[in-house]
Structure formats: structure tokens, C-alpha cells
Amino acid sequence: MIKITSFLENARELVSSMRRSVEASNYPILASLSQIQQDLFKYWQTLPQTTYCRDLSTSGVLFRPNLHLALTYHLVHVFVGRYLIFDAPRISMNVDARLDAAHASIRTELTENCFESALAIFGLCEKLQETTGLARASYTEFTTCWAALLVVLAKRTCESDTRLRTASAQGIRLLKHMSLGLYAATAEKAATEAMQTVFERLETRTQARHMRDFESDGSAYENFKNWALLWNIDTSGGSNRSEIVSGGLLSPMRNADQDFCSPMLFIDELDFTTGV
């Protein structure tokens, strides 16, 4: 635990430096953060998988301490990448294109690892809840779950899909359970409730946007149908569609552009009056 905490401390210093620096000078810091993640992963792979450290079998005598170690491991990945989710790179004309590409590649790697670790934290907390149960007075369990939920919130402000909605609901449910204990009368409970409200508003906004898009598409289709009906008009005076094209509604357009192609060539066989 001490060794993994040292990785977290080193990452904290680099993230603080990056937030104070200008975009063009961020690449060395990003490279250092990427190296920390690689070193952390290599160190994690050296830890034993039986009884100690990486042994997450529910029957193990060190199940909860080992799970706390895994939560802290994933917390480092979360801490390294969460700042980068919002801080989109700005293109600089003074920076070499290859450096820009390397910059973007590292940012993508760090943010993806951050999100995957956030989901892993939810999975570990869920596993704990289904076995021995989440502790209602565990700082490690509560804070790592909270940090993971903040990552999901950041992602949901930019995009929304089933995976994100499921993760946010899972995180809120886990935090609510832990808030029944030590944190029941403190700011943590209020913060959890506020977070739930934020997710509900995001979902409402997403649904409203989808509805507007649907209505916009429907309106465009109705306009197209009405436009197409102009080509199906057969007047009682004997006017036909060819007359409309050659000497009626579209004659100015025909004269202005001899290459104009009548839409009738493409929609003649369709019956838009029936909605087909």
C-alpha cells in the first residue's frame, strides 16, 4: 500500500504542474504521467496472486485488505486521467505536428485508462457488497467510489450511452449504501444526493435533445413530402407535370441553369401522399 501511495503522490505533483503550465509545455509532463502508469502496472504485476495483494478470492482471509489495495491501484489511474477528460488539447501552430500526434496519443491513453479504472472500482465495490458487504465507515471504499463517479460524470457531460448510464446508476447506488453509516449525518450524504440530482438533470437534458432532434427530422421530412407533392399535381385544366417543369413553376430555374435536373426523374414512382 505504501508503494502504491507513493505512485499516487508522484502523479499528484505532476498533475499540479500540468495545470499550471501552458499547453505547449505539457508534453514532457504527460510523458512522465504515462511512465508512472507503466511503472505502476509493472509493479502491480510483480505482486503475489495467492493469499496476499492481488488475491481477490472471496474466501481469502485477506479479502478486504487486498481489495482495498486494488481500489488504491485503480485510484492512481483515475487521478492521473480525470483532469484530462475536460482539458481538451488546443492545437498550436508553433508545435511540431509529430509532437501534437504524440501528445494526443498519450492523452487518449491516460483518459481511457482512467475510465476503465473507474468502472473497475465500481466492480470491486459491487463484489465487496455482494460478499462481506461494503463498510459504512471505510474511507478507502467511499473516496475511491466517489472519485470513480466523478469520472463518469465528466464523461456524461460530453457524451451519453448505455454504459455510462449504467455506471452512474451503479455508483450512486453504492455511495447511497455507504452513506447509511458513518456519513449519514455529514456532507458526504448531501453530496451523494446532489450528485444523483446532477445525473437526473443530465438524463433529462439528453432526452430533451433527442426529442428535439426527432421533431426536427420529422419536420424536415414533412417539408420534403410537401415539396414532392408539387410534382404530382395534375390540374383539371389539363396541365401535366412536364408542363409544370417546362413552362410553370420551375421555368426560371430551367432558363438560369440548363443543367438543372428535375427531381421528377427520381421521385416519379413514389407516392408521398400515402407516407411511403
The model's confidence at residue 143, banded by pLDDT at 50, 70 and 90, is very high
**pTM higher than 0.85:** no
Nearest C-alpha neighbor of 101 from the set 112, 110, 89, 113: 89
Matching residue, cell 430555374 = 253
Dump pLDDT digits (tens) for 94-116. 455 666 788 888 999 999 999 99
- Contact 228/272 with Cβ under 8 angstroms? yes
CA dihedral sign, ordered 73, 134, 141, 2:
negative
Dump pLDDT digits (tens) for 200-231. 888 887 777 666 665 565 566 566 566 566 65
CA distance 101 to 106: 9
- Contact 128/141 with Cβ under 8 angstroms? yes
Whether the per-residue pLDDT at 173 is higher than 60: the answer is: yes
- Contact 164/170 with Cβ under 8 angstroms? no
Compute the mean pLDDT over every residue in the chain, rounded to the nearest whole number.
77
Whether the per-residue pLDDT at 264 is higher than 50: the answer is: no
> Could you tell me where the DSSP H helices lie in 131-161?
139-158
Sketch the domain layout of the chain as residue ranges: 2-186, 212-274
Please report the pLDDT score of residue 21 as a whole number. 76
Nearest C-alpha neighbor of 159 from the set 214, 49, 97, 85: 85
Matching residue, cell 472500482 = 121
Instruction: Return the DSSP state at 231.
Output: G
CA distance 206 to 50: 46
Dump pLDDT digits (tens) for 5-44. 999 999 999 988 888 876 656 788 999 999 999 999 999 9
Please report the pLDDT score of residue 260 as a whole number. 38
- Contact 121/74 with Cβ under 8 angstroms? yes
Say which residues have a Cβ less than 8 Å from residue 268's Cβ, sequence separation at least 6.
Answer: 231
- Contact 175/195 with Cβ under 8 angstroms? yes
